[in-house]
Chains A and B, each alone.
Chain A
Amino acid sequence: MDNLLWIFISALLVNNFVLTYFLGLCPFLGVSGSLETSARLGLATTFVMLVTAVCAWVLNTYVLIHAPYLRLICFIVVIASTVQFIEMLIKKLSPALFRAMGIFLPLITTNCAILGLAIFATNRGYGFWEGIVYALGAGIGFTLALVLLAGLREESELSNIPKLIKGTAMNLIIAGVLSMAFMGFAGLFSSA
């Protein structure tokens, strides 16, 4: 139990996927213009991460133990097709849910945060529940970073910023400051 909590907090804050591993930066910089879109993208990503964790566990336990060299290809193919399948399922079953996050699903599949999750979980030898908790932490952490950046960007729209720094350069510097703030979470566990 203690271990699961540490995995969760570690993925959520201390080793936030976006702010310390730089994973999923494309959507982080591209989509984080508005708060609402960011929140929905974050939700969709968390969902895909959960699916990924299950896929990765199944593959690691039953397939890759015999053929470790197929890891990368297996992860990509299986994750992409599972997500596509679930996308179709959601479209059929719940059009409302599909409208909320469906359009993001194809975009997310090839996101490095998703693949990164599968690879990190494998490297650390996580079991089923550990993988799920890790995915949950990483997904919520991703959403958190995205929403924080979106909030800051919405605010900055209102202020007078030199033309030179507008755009990606400023977003990166904001992200740098956020990342510094998140460093404050380090040691959260070991100091206890």
Chain B
Amino acid sequence: MNAPTDSGASGSMRLVLTLAIAGLVSGIAIIGIYESTLPTITANKARELREAVFKVLPGVSQMQALVYRDGELVAVDRPDKDEPVVYGGYDEHSAFVGYAMPGAGPGFQDTIALLYGYRPDEKNVVGMEILESRETPGLGDKIYKDAVFVSGFSALSVEPEIVAVKKGTKSRPNEIDAITGATISSKAVVRIINETHADWSAQLPEPGSEPRLEATETAGTEADQ
């Protein structure tokens, strides 16, 4: 301390001033880094989401976010925070293919978040991708590392609801072989899909009357690529 603080008013003024300056400089630095990285971060996130959607819905090349408002499914640019959302997938002629539905629920260790593709015309799940999980390495993580299990979701009937059965005993279109040694994780995945499907099934329109692709998202998709 080069200048001895002569107590009282000037002393506490100096304290407040120092903190204020420190806060100001730090605020500027943080806003700077936030503004400069935001475009990359947003683009990364959008790309990840798009890749996941295209993966769970084979044959899809365009997508848009859909939310349920006032009794019908509408396309939005940016869903509100906490608003449940599904993604509509469209082929290159902008014809509707299916929905990519995000779901989450408790797994073996922690919450599992996933995305699955659903074709309402076939009433089938056509693909599944785990977005987030902390399942046990070597056992529970087979829900996304085991190719056989993942491919089991490429044609799976959701009505009546999906059932996980012992490996090798699948006999009906709504059954899937559970992973040996990771039955709980497999069942968790199945339950998350069933629950998500039950939540949405009343809100999805009749097959054939899905929301049409709106032009804005297409432009955005192309611009990003």
- Whether the complex brings A and B within 8 Å at their CB atoms is answered yes
Q: Chain A residues in contact with chain B, CB under 8 A?
A: 6, 10, 14-15, 65, 68-70, 73, 124-125, 186-187, 189-191
The 10 closest A-B pairs by CB, nearest first: A69-B34, A190-B188, A187-B108, A187-B184, A189-B106, A186-B109, A190-B184, A191-B184, A69-B30, A6-B106
Tell me the complex Cα distance, A191–B30, Å.
Answer: 45
Q: Is B136 an interface residue (CB 8 A)?
A: yes
Contact A73 B106 (CB under 8 A): no
Which B22-77 residues have C-beta < 8 A from chain A?
26-27, 30-31, 33-34
Contact B184 A14 (CB under 8 A): no
Closest-CB distance, B45 to chain A (whole angstroms): 13
Dominant SS among interface residues on chain B: helix
B74-117 Cβ-contact flags toward A at 8 Å (1 or 0): 00000001100000000000000000000000111111000000
Contact A73 B108 (CB under 8 A): no
Dominant SS among interface residues on chain A: loop
Query: Do A186 and B34 form a contact, CB below 8 Å, given A70-B27, A73-B26, A125-B82?
Result: no
Q: Is B119 an interface residue (CB 8 A)?
A: no
Contacts of A124 in B (CB 8 A): 111
Contact B106 A10 (CB under 8 A): yes
Listed A/B pairs (30) with beta-carbon separation below 8 Å: A10-B106, A14-B109, A14-B110, A15-B110, A68-B34, A69-B30, A69-B31, A69-B33, A69-B34, A70-B27, A70-B30, A73-B26, A73-B30, A124-B111, A125-B82, A186-B108, A186-B109, A186-B136, A187-B108, A187-B184, A189-B106, A190-B106, A190-B107, A190-B108, A190-B184, A190-B185, A190-B187, A190-B188, A190-B191, A191-B187
Contacts of A190 in B (CB 8 A): 106-108, 184-185, 187-188, 191
Closest-CB distance, B184 to chain A (whole angstroms): 5
Contacts of B191 in A (CB 8 A): 190
Contacts of A70 in B (CB 8 A): 27, 30
Tell me the complex Cα distance, A96–B186, Å.
Answer: 52
Closest-CB distance, B211 to chain A (whole angstroms): 26
Closest-CB distance, B28 to chain A (whole angstroms): 11
Tell me the complex Cα distance, A6–B109, Å.
Answer: 11
Which B152-179 residues have C-beta < 8 A from chain A?
none
Interface centre among A65, A69, A189, A190 (most CB of B within 10 A): A190
Tell me the complex Cα distance, A190–B185, Å.
Answer: 8
Contacts of B27 in A (CB 8 A): 70
Tell me the complex Cα distance, A54–B32, Å.
Answer: 29
Tell me the complex Cα distance, A10–B105, Å.
Answer: 12
Contacts of B30 in A (CB 8 A): 69-70, 73
Tell me the complex Cα distance, A171–B191, Å.
Answer: 40
Closest-CB distance, A17 to chain B (whole angstroms): 13
B118-137 Cβ-contact flags toward A at 8 Å (1 or 0): 00000000000000000010
B179-206 Cβ-contact flags toward A at 8 Å (1 or 0): 0000011011001000000000000000
Tell me the complex Cα distance, A65–B108, Å.
Answer: 32
Closest-CB distance, A22 to chain B (whole angstroms): 14
